[in-house]
Amino acid sequence: VYTLEQLRDFVAVAEEQSFRRAAARLNMTQPPLSRQIQRLERSIGLRLLTRTSRTVTLTPAGQIFLEEARRILQMTDAAALMAQRVARGRAGRVRVGFTAIAAFNVFGEWIRAVHRELPNIDFVLTEMVTTAQTDALLGGEIDLGFMRGLPPANVIGGRLVFSEGLVVAVPEGHELAGLGRPPLLKEVAEHDIVTYGPAPARYFHELVVSLFHEARLTPNYVQYVSQVNSQLVLVGAGIGIALVPRSAARLQPPRVEFLELGAQPQDLVELHCAWRLDSKNAALTAALGILDRVVADYGHSQDI
């Protein structure tokens, strides 16, 4: 096992082809330089240089070792620089949790913007429901979550990034699709509703239930699912109809139509993002800065 200084010394001698000149370049005298090279040769068990009393040349093994030595020295500089860039947020890794639907709105826009402006930031994307994201945040498994609602924990910071209205997902050829106008909530309530179960996606379940409750409607809930994907599969199979965020229409599920829902606010479903306030990840901070701008801009292009 040798030292980096021995590598530096060896490279200098190989390049100068002289112990004297190399020593001058390294701001030292020749004797210690000679000894360092000897130690290096002893530690790897080979002669790297042939010293004829007039010139110094590399052995074949020395030529190979010289290339490797240069690369190692270069890497030692690069490693420090890379770490400093990470600390400044110019490079690094952001681990992100996101719900299936989030990928279709401002979230995707944000990923692209960060990738374009800070190409040295890597993403690790994992799809998970809100509760799983909360656990993952607190457990330090992700840096940022795009979720429904914000967890109450006071170590978590968050902000609203997007809000949208609800639409009605119905099987193709469904009665409500034939009305020629957006159905009323009252009419929707007369059909079987496929909705989220309360446990895995509490936010969305309560949103839908309270929507009907406030209108004094009591629809028939036929199924409890945990993901929009499966919800839409059930709709496509004719099991029932569902209220889903508008973004879900982008999933283009087979045998499903989406209908506007009359007289409902367009900011009912909120997408938040959340992160640990005590995160030391500078890349996260930089990426959140870009998110601020993307969120501000996104309103102008929602009509895509």
Partner DNA sequence: ATTACTTACGTATGACGTAACGATT
Partner DNA sequence: AATCGTTACGTCATACGTAAGTAAT
Distance CA 286, CA 284 (A): 5
How far, rounded to the nearest angstrom, does the alpha carbon of residue 48 sit from its chain's CA centroid? 47
Q: Which long-range contacts (CB under 8 A, 24 or more apart) does 209-216 make?
A: 211/166, 211/185, 211/243, 211/264, 211/268, 212/185, 215/185, 215/186, 215/189
CB of 187 to a copy of itself, least distance (A): 9
Please identify, using beta-carbon distances, which residue of 1 and 304 lies nearer to DNA.
1
Query: Under the criterion CB under 8 A, does residue 63 sit at the interface with a copy of itself?
Result: yes
Question: Minimum distance between the CB of residue 264 and a copy of itself, rounded to whole angstroms?
Answer: 22
> 2 with 32: CB under 8 angstroms?
no
Half-sphere exposure of 185 (CA within 13 A, CB side): 15
Using the rule CB under 8 A, is 5 a contact of a copy of itself?
yes
Closer to DNA by Cβ: residue 37 or 287 = 37
Count of residues near a copy of itself by CB under 8 A:
60
Instruction: Rule CB under 8 A: say whether 21 interacts with a copy of itself.
Output: no
The first and second tokens of residue 105, run together, are 């709105």
Beta bridge partners of 42: none
The span from the CA of 284 to the CA of 114, in Å, is 11
224 binds a copy of itself (CB under 8 A): yes
Least distance CB 287 / a copy of itself (angstroms): 12
> Which one of the spans 23-31, 90-98, 177-185, 291-299 is the region binding a copy of itself (CB under 8 A)?
90-98
Query: In the bound complex, what is the minimum distance in angstroms from residue 81's beta carbon to a copy of itself?
Result: 9
33 to 62: interface string for a copy of itself, x by CB under 8 A: ----------xxxx-x-x--------xxxx
**Cβ closest to a copy of itself, residue 103 vs residue 268:** 103
The backbone torsions φ and ψ at residue 108, rounded to the nearest 5 degrees and listed phi first, read: -60, -35
Residue 173 binds which entry of a copy of itself, DNA, none, with Cβ cut-offs from 5 to 8 Å by kind?
none
Backbone torsions φ then ψ of 185, nearest 5 degrees: -55, -40
Where does the chain show beta strands of DSSP type E? 49-52, 55-58, 92-98, 121-127, 144-147, 156-164, 166-171, 192-196, 220-225, 242-245, 256-260, 269-276
Answer yes or no whether residue 269 interacts with a copy of itself by CB under 8 A: no
- Chain positions contacting a copy of itself, by CB under 8 A: 1-5, 43-46, 48, 50, 59-65, 67-69, 71-72, 75-76, 78-80, 82-84, 86-87, 91-93, 103, 115, 119, 123, 125, 127, 139-141, 190, 199, 220, 222-224, 239, 250-252, 254, 280-283
